[in-house]
Copies of this chain bind each other. A is one copy, B any other.
Amino acid sequence: MSNNRIKDLNEFADVFKALSNPHRLQIFLRLVSCCKPGTVSYVDAESSAYVGELGEELGVVKSTVSHHIKELKRVGIIRTERQGQRIACWVDPEIVEALKDFFTR
């Protein structure tokens, strides 16, 4: 099925769209530091951030941050987990690998 190719194409297009907004790209860069080998699935203060923090850093209101987080999550760039009152966010290391591979060939 060459349908797979189209699916892949559109999925990558979606990922790039998610990264095409400066605020979302900033969120990505802020979070991506956790993707060193060894911290892969471990979430702590340095490898993740809370929605509120991200909003302050970006200078946008929380509803907008929430919207961006949702989009980044939808396309598989970040993962989230509730920790008490707050939601921790981190980049999925697999997507970074996939993107690296995408440009390596």
Contact = CB atoms under 8 A, between A and B. Distances in A.
A26 B16 CA distance: 13
Contact of A13 (B9, B10, B22, B104): B22
A99 interface: yes
A60 interface: no
Interface of A: 9-10, 12-14, 16-17, 19-22, 25-26, 29, 96, 99-100, 103-104
Contact of A12 (B12, B14, B17, B25): B25
A21 to B, nearest CB: 7
A77 to B, nearest CB: 11
Nearest to A5: B29
Nearest to A21: B13
Contacts of A21: 13
A12 B20 CA distance: 8
B22 A20 contact: no
